[in-house]
Amino acid sequence: MRKIWKCRKGILGVESAIILIAFVIVAAAFSFMVVNMGLFATQRGRDTISQGVQEASTPLMLDGSIMIRGSSSGNVSVIIIPLKTLGVKYVPMANETTVVSLRVENHTAYANIYTGINDTDPRGHSFDELASGSGSTTKAVLFIENSDGDDSMDAQEKGLLIISLKSSDAASKRENIFIEIRPEKGAPLSIEFTVPSELQEGYTTIG
């Protein structure tokens, strides 16, 4: 009887060991799943935050003062906006990916006047040469200094966005002008200024 009792005791010990091993395996698998889901959630959260920061910040900024050209009639016919990139290696500026909206207080509003990049190097050209053809249509053209020939503005490049206003859209003295440059990614660059009350013929610096 003692031998039989010992044998039964041994069988119970093996069964307990098997059950314990099963619990350990299940716990390990569950722990791995929890850790894996935690890492996945952390990665997705980090990507979401990064994307949110990128969308909330604009990749463009002013690179100097805005200039306007006063006509003989005392209206603004040309607006020149110097641009550069901010915190990114490049900003796509093709016609299909960028929008430039314009609103002149009380009488003019365009959802998009951007016509794309002009391959002409602005160095060695006057503002009047770059803005040639103004008066016939309202448009915005980007000239890139030190361009590498692609459809983007890189960190080492400088852009000149030249907005030409046709006669019926020209801004008068003391009128507010609102411009929004919206690239493919990131927040838009918003610009607002008032035409000086003593606007002279020729180019004037704003801000």
Q: How far apart are the first and last CA of the chain?
A: 105
Question: What is the spatial distance between Cα 63 and Cα 82, in angstroms, rounded to a whole number?
Answer: 5
Average pLDDT over the chain, rounded to an integer: 80
Output the pLDDT for position 14.
Answer: 60
Residue 112, pLDDT score:
94
| Average confidence (pLDDT) over 120-131 | 85
Average pLDDT of the residues in 76-86: 91
Distance, in Å, from the CA atom of 7 to the CA atom of 34, rounded to the nearest integer, reads: 41
What's the average model confidence in pLDDT over 154-162? 90
Q: Higher-confidence residue: 135 or 82? A: 82
Write the single-letter amino acid at 182.
R
Task: Mark 46-82 as b/e (b = at least 16 C-beta within 10 Å).
Answer: eeeeeeeeeeeebbbeeeeebbbbbbeeebbbbbbbb
Phi, psi of 23 (to 5 degrees): -60, -40
Architecture of the CATH domain 60-206: Sandwich (2.60)
Q: Could you tell me the pLDDT band of residue 54, with boundaries at 50, 70 and 90? A: very low
79 pLDDT above the threshold of 90? yes
For the ranges 24-38, 64-78, 132-146, the maximum mean pLDDT occurs at 64-78
pLDDT of residue 125: 85
The pLDDT of residue 57 is 55
